[in-house]
Amino acid sequence: MAFKIVTDSTADLPVELTTKLNITVVPEYVRFGNQVYRDRLDISEDEFYQRLLHESIYPGTSQPTPQDFANLYRELSKEADGIISIRLTGKLSGTCNSALRGKELAETKCPIEIVDSQLLTMSLGLLVIEAARIAEFGKNMRQVVEEIKQNIPNIHFLALLDTLKYLALGGRIGKAQALLGSMLSVKPMLAIKDGELVPVSQVRTRAKGIEKLFDFVKNTTNIQDLAIVYNTTPDEALMLTEHMGSMFPKERIRLSRLGPALGVHAGPGVLAIALRRQS
Protein backbone atom coordinates (compact mmCIF):
# COMPACT_ATOMS: atom_id res chain seq x y z
CA MET A 1 0.00 0.00 0.00
CA ALA A 2 1.14 3.60 -0.65
CA PHE A 3 0.01 7.14 -1.26
CA LYS A 4 -1.57 7.81 -4.64
CA ILE A 5 -0.83 11.12 -6.36
CA VAL A 6 -3.59 12.54 -8.55
CA THR A 7 -3.59 15.64 -10.75
CA ASP A 8 -5.47 16.94 -13.78
CA SER A 9 -4.49 17.17 -17.42
CA THR A 10 -3.61 20.87 -17.14
CA ALA A 11 -0.34 19.76 -15.51
CA ASP A 12 0.81 18.88 -19.06
CA LEU A 13 2.90 15.98 -17.81
CA PRO A 14 4.22 13.68 -20.55
CA VAL A 15 2.50 10.27 -20.48
CA GLU A 16 5.74 8.35 -20.07
CA LEU A 17 6.48 10.36 -16.93
CA THR A 18 3.06 9.81 -15.32
CA THR A 19 3.43 6.09 -16.03
CA LYS A 20 6.93 5.93 -14.56
CA LEU A 21 5.95 7.85 -11.39
CA ASN A 22 2.52 6.21 -11.02
CA ILE A 23 0.69 9.55 -11.21
CA THR A 24 -3.02 9.43 -12.05
CA VAL A 25 -4.29 12.18 -14.37
CA VAL A 26 -7.95 13.27 -14.51
CA PRO A 27 -8.78 14.77 -17.93
CA GLU A 28 -10.39 18.17 -18.31
CA TYR A 29 -13.10 18.54 -20.97
CA VAL A 30 -12.74 20.47 -24.23
CA ARG A 31 -15.74 21.54 -26.32
CA PHE A 32 -16.11 22.45 -29.98
CA GLY A 33 -19.78 23.41 -30.29
CA ASN A 34 -21.80 20.37 -29.20
CA GLN A 35 -18.80 18.04 -29.41
CA VAL A 36 -17.17 17.30 -26.05
CA TYR A 37 -13.77 15.64 -25.71
CA ARG A 38 -11.65 14.42 -22.81
CA ASP A 39 -8.35 16.28 -22.91
CA ARG A 40 -5.71 14.13 -24.65
CA LEU A 41 -7.88 10.99 -24.52
CA ASP A 42 -10.49 11.84 -27.15
CA ILE A 43 -8.58 14.66 -28.85
CA SER A 44 -4.83 14.89 -29.39
CA GLU A 45 -2.73 18.03 -29.23
CA ASP A 46 -2.21 17.99 -33.01
CA GLU A 47 -5.92 17.65 -33.78
CA PHE A 48 -6.86 20.32 -31.26
CA TYR A 49 -4.44 22.96 -32.56
CA GLN A 50 -5.39 22.25 -36.16
CA ARG A 51 -9.02 22.88 -35.27
CA LEU A 52 -8.22 25.92 -33.14
CA LEU A 53 -6.35 27.54 -36.01
CA HIS A 54 -8.64 26.60 -38.88
CA GLU A 55 -12.22 26.30 -37.57
CA SER A 56 -14.55 29.22 -36.96
CA ILE A 57 -15.98 27.68 -33.76
CA TYR A 58 -14.30 29.04 -30.64
CA PRO A 59 -13.72 26.10 -28.24
CA GLY A 60 -14.43 26.04 -24.53
CA THR A 61 -13.49 23.95 -21.52
CA SER A 62 -15.11 22.50 -18.43
CA GLN A 63 -13.63 20.86 -15.38
CA PRO A 64 -14.03 17.17 -14.48
CA THR A 65 -17.27 16.57 -12.63
CA PRO A 66 -17.44 15.74 -8.91
CA GLN A 67 -18.61 12.28 -9.98
CA ASP A 68 -15.49 11.87 -12.15
CA PHE A 69 -13.37 12.48 -9.08
CA ALA A 70 -15.54 10.36 -6.78
CA ASN A 71 -15.32 7.35 -9.11
CA LEU A 72 -11.55 7.70 -9.34
CA TYR A 73 -11.07 8.14 -5.59
CA ARG A 74 -13.15 5.03 -4.86
CA GLU A 75 -11.09 2.98 -7.30
CA LEU A 76 -7.72 4.23 -6.02
CA SER A 77 -8.76 3.77 -2.39
CA LYS A 78 -8.79 0.00 -2.89
CA GLU A 79 -4.99 -0.04 -2.91
CA ALA A 80 -3.97 3.22 -1.24
CA ASP A 81 -3.00 4.35 2.25
CA GLY A 82 -4.04 7.84 1.20
CA ILE A 83 -4.83 9.93 -1.87
CA ILE A 84 -3.24 13.34 -2.49
CA SER A 85 -5.08 15.24 -5.22
CA ILE A 86 -3.07 18.23 -6.51
CA ARG A 87 -5.12 20.62 -8.56
CA LEU A 88 -4.86 23.49 -11.00
CA THR A 89 -5.09 26.92 -9.34
CA GLY A 90 -8.56 27.50 -7.99
CA LYS A 91 -8.48 31.14 -9.12
CA LEU A 92 -8.59 30.13 -12.78
CA SER A 93 -10.76 27.00 -12.68
CA GLY A 94 -13.46 25.20 -10.74
CA THR A 95 -11.46 21.95 -10.84
CA CYS A 96 -10.37 22.26 -7.21
CA ASN A 97 -13.97 22.69 -6.01
CA SER A 98 -15.02 19.75 -8.17
CA ALA A 99 -12.31 17.61 -6.55
CA LEU A 100 -13.51 18.63 -3.08
CA ARG A 101 -17.09 17.67 -3.95
CA GLY A 102 -15.80 14.40 -5.38
CA LYS A 103 -14.11 13.68 -2.06
CA GLU A 104 -17.46 14.09 -0.28
CA LEU A 105 -19.26 11.89 -2.81
CA ALA A 106 -16.65 9.12 -2.68
CA GLU A 107 -17.53 8.25 0.93
CA THR A 108 -14.39 6.18 1.35
CA LYS A 109 -12.44 5.50 4.53
CA CYS A 110 -9.22 6.17 2.64
CA PRO A 111 -7.94 9.65 3.62
CA ILE A 112 -8.06 12.13 0.73
CA GLU A 113 -6.28 15.51 0.72
CA ILE A 114 -7.02 18.16 -1.92
CA VAL A 115 -4.17 20.62 -2.58
CA ASP A 116 -4.78 23.85 -4.51
CA SER A 117 -1.40 24.24 -6.19
CA GLN A 118 -1.93 27.91 -7.22
CA LEU A 119 -0.10 26.82 -10.38
CA LEU A 120 -0.77 25.64 -13.93
CA THR A 121 0.81 23.70 -16.81
CA MET A 122 4.31 22.41 -15.97
CA SER A 123 4.65 24.62 -12.89
CA LEU A 124 1.87 22.37 -11.56
CA GLY A 125 3.61 19.43 -13.23
CA LEU A 126 6.87 20.07 -11.38
CA LEU A 127 5.01 20.18 -8.07
CA VAL A 128 3.31 16.87 -8.87
CA ILE A 129 6.64 15.28 -9.81
CA GLU A 130 8.12 16.43 -6.51
CA ALA A 131 5.02 15.18 -4.67
CA ALA A 132 5.54 11.71 -6.15
CA ARG A 133 9.13 11.78 -4.87
CA ILE A 134 8.10 12.99 -1.40
CA ALA A 135 5.38 10.33 -1.14
CA GLU A 136 7.96 7.56 -1.67
CA PHE A 137 9.62 8.20 1.67
CA GLY A 138 6.84 6.67 3.76
CA LYS A 139 6.04 9.65 5.97
CA ASN A 140 2.52 10.07 7.29
CA MET A 141 -0.16 11.79 5.24
CA ARG A 142 0.03 15.10 7.12
CA GLN A 143 3.82 15.30 6.69
CA VAL A 144 3.65 14.52 2.97
CA VAL A 145 0.95 17.12 2.30
CA GLU A 146 2.76 19.76 4.35
CA GLU A 147 6.01 19.17 2.48
CA ILE A 148 4.19 19.42 -0.86
CA LYS A 149 2.65 22.75 0.17
CA GLN A 150 6.04 24.05 1.28
CA ASN A 151 7.30 23.52 -2.28
CA ILE A 152 4.66 25.76 -3.90
CA PRO A 153 6.50 29.08 -3.26
CA ASN A 154 9.67 27.57 -4.74
CA ILE A 155 8.08 27.09 -8.17
CA HIS A 156 8.22 29.92 -10.70
CA PHE A 157 6.75 30.36 -14.16
CA LEU A 158 7.15 32.73 -17.09
CA ALA A 159 5.28 32.47 -20.39
CA LEU A 160 5.56 34.20 -23.74
CA LEU A 161 2.19 34.39 -25.53
CA ASP A 162 1.57 35.38 -29.11
CA THR A 163 -1.68 37.14 -28.20
CA LEU A 164 -4.05 37.78 -25.29
CA LYS A 165 -7.08 37.25 -27.55
CA TYR A 166 -7.80 33.72 -26.36
CA LEU A 167 -7.45 34.56 -22.66
CA ALA A 168 -9.88 37.43 -23.16
CA LEU A 169 -12.38 35.29 -25.09
CA GLY A 170 -12.30 32.60 -22.41
CA GLY A 171 -12.71 35.04 -19.53
CA ARG A 172 -9.40 33.97 -17.92
CA ILE A 173 -7.47 37.16 -18.54
CA GLY A 174 -7.49 38.45 -14.95
CA LYS A 175 -4.81 41.03 -14.19
CA ALA A 176 -3.40 40.73 -17.73
CA GLN A 177 -6.41 42.86 -18.79
CA ALA A 178 -4.15 45.89 -18.35
CA LEU A 179 -2.11 44.86 -21.42
CA LEU A 180 -5.01 44.51 -23.85
CA GLY A 181 -4.85 48.02 -25.25
CA SER A 182 -1.35 47.57 -26.66
CA MET A 183 -1.63 44.01 -27.92
CA LEU A 184 -1.54 44.84 -31.61
CA SER A 185 2.14 45.71 -31.51
CA VAL A 186 3.64 43.65 -28.68
CA LYS A 187 3.86 40.12 -27.30
CA PRO A 188 2.72 39.65 -23.70
CA MET A 189 4.75 37.86 -21.05
CA LEU A 190 2.89 36.50 -18.04
CA ALA A 191 3.83 34.94 -14.71
CA ILE A 192 1.66 33.32 -12.08
CA LYS A 193 1.41 34.94 -8.67
CA ASP A 194 -0.85 33.81 -5.84
CA GLY A 195 -2.71 31.61 -8.30
CA GLU A 196 -3.41 34.35 -10.85
CA LEU A 197 -1.86 35.22 -14.20
CA VAL A 198 -0.10 38.56 -13.96
CA PRO A 199 1.64 40.65 -16.65
CA VAL A 200 5.37 41.03 -16.10
CA SER A 201 6.60 42.36 -19.42
CA GLN A 202 5.79 43.02 -23.05
CA VAL A 203 8.18 42.66 -25.97
CA ARG A 204 8.09 43.77 -29.59
CA THR A 205 9.24 40.48 -31.09
CA ARG A 206 9.26 36.77 -30.24
CA ALA A 207 13.06 36.84 -30.37
CA LYS A 208 13.08 39.38 -27.53
CA GLY A 209 10.58 37.26 -25.62
CA ILE A 210 12.72 34.14 -25.99
CA GLU A 211 15.70 36.16 -24.77
CA LYS A 212 13.74 37.10 -21.64
CA LEU A 213 12.88 33.43 -21.03
CA PHE A 214 16.60 32.65 -21.25
CA ASP A 215 17.41 35.49 -18.82
CA PHE A 216 14.70 34.26 -16.43
CA VAL A 217 16.63 31.01 -16.02
CA LYS A 218 20.04 32.70 -16.09
CA ASN A 219 19.05 34.99 -13.21
CA THR A 220 17.54 32.26 -11.02
CA THR A 221 19.74 30.44 -8.51
CA ASN A 222 19.56 26.93 -7.02
CA ILE A 223 17.36 25.47 -9.77
CA GLN A 224 16.38 21.87 -8.99
CA ASP A 225 13.94 21.16 -11.84
CA LEU A 226 13.41 22.91 -15.16
CA ALA A 227 10.74 22.48 -17.83
CA ILE A 228 10.16 24.11 -21.21
CA VAL A 229 6.57 24.25 -22.42
CA TYR A 230 5.46 24.86 -26.01
CA ASN A 231 2.39 24.17 -28.11
CA THR A 232 2.79 25.00 -31.82
CA THR A 233 6.48 25.91 -32.12
CA PRO A 234 8.54 22.81 -31.27
CA ASP A 235 11.57 24.21 -33.08
CA GLU A 236 11.72 27.15 -30.68
CA ALA A 237 11.41 24.81 -27.70
CA LEU A 238 14.30 22.67 -28.96
CA MET A 239 16.42 25.75 -29.61
CA LEU A 240 15.70 27.01 -26.10
CA THR A 241 16.61 23.60 -24.69
CA GLU A 242 19.96 23.75 -26.44
CA HIS A 243 20.67 27.24 -25.10
CA MET A 244 19.57 26.33 -21.57
CA GLY A 245 22.11 23.50 -21.62
CA SER A 246 24.82 26.02 -20.78
CA MET A 247 23.11 26.76 -17.43
CA PHE A 248 21.33 23.54 -16.49
CA PRO A 249 22.05 19.91 -17.45
CA LYS A 250 20.34 19.48 -20.80
CA GLU A 251 19.43 15.86 -20.11
CA ARG A 252 17.41 16.98 -17.06
CA ILE A 253 15.37 19.63 -18.89
CA ARG A 254 11.79 18.42 -19.25
CA LEU A 255 10.09 19.24 -22.55
CA SER A 256 6.30 19.46 -22.35
CA ARG A 257 3.52 20.36 -24.75
CA LEU A 258 0.69 22.63 -23.61
CA GLY A 259 -2.44 20.51 -23.98
CA PRO A 260 -5.91 21.31 -25.31
CA ALA A 261 -7.42 22.30 -21.95
CA LEU A 262 -5.01 25.21 -21.53
CA GLY A 263 -4.49 25.77 -25.25
CA VAL A 264 -8.12 26.92 -25.50
CA HIS A 265 -7.26 29.91 -23.33
CA ALA A 266 -3.63 30.54 -24.29
CA GLY A 267 -3.93 30.18 -28.06
CA PRO A 268 -1.10 29.13 -30.41
CA GLY A 269 2.51 30.25 -30.16
CA VAL A 270 3.03 29.69 -26.44
CA LEU A 271 6.53 29.22 -25.09
CA ALA A 272 7.10 29.04 -21.33
CA ILE A 273 9.55 28.13 -18.59
CA ALA A 274 8.65 26.45 -15.30
CA LEU A 275 11.29 25.89 -12.67
CA ARG A 276 11.62 24.72 -9.07
CA ARG A 277 14.22 26.25 -6.80
CA GLN A 278 15.74 24.68 -3.72
CA SER A 279 14.07 26.06 -0.59
The CATH number of whichever domain residue 82 belongs to comes to: 3.40.50.10440
Last residue of a domain, one of 96, 121, 153: 153
Asked if the structure places residue 130 within a domain, the reply is yes
| pLDDT tens digits, 8-36 | 999 999 999 999 999 999 999 999 999 99
Q: Which residues contact 37 (CB under 8 A, 6 or more apart)?
A: 29, 30, 31, 43, 260
Shared-domain flag, residues 74 and 181:
no
Question: pLDDT for 141-190, tens place per residue?
Answer: 999 999 999 999 999 999 999 988 888 775 555 554 444 444 556 788 99
Does residue 201 share a domain with residue 76? Answer: no
Residues 163 and 235 in one domain: yes
> How buried is 65 (Cβ within 10 angstroms: 0-12 exposed, 13-18 middle, 19+ buried)?
middle
How many structural domains does the chain have?
2
pLDDT tens column, 95-144: 999 999 999 999 999 999 999 999 999 999 999 999 999 998 868 899 99
Domain enclosing residue 89, as ranges: 2-27+64-153
170 located within any domain: yes
* Residue at which a domain ends, from 132, 153, 174: 153
Same domain as 264, residue 205: yes
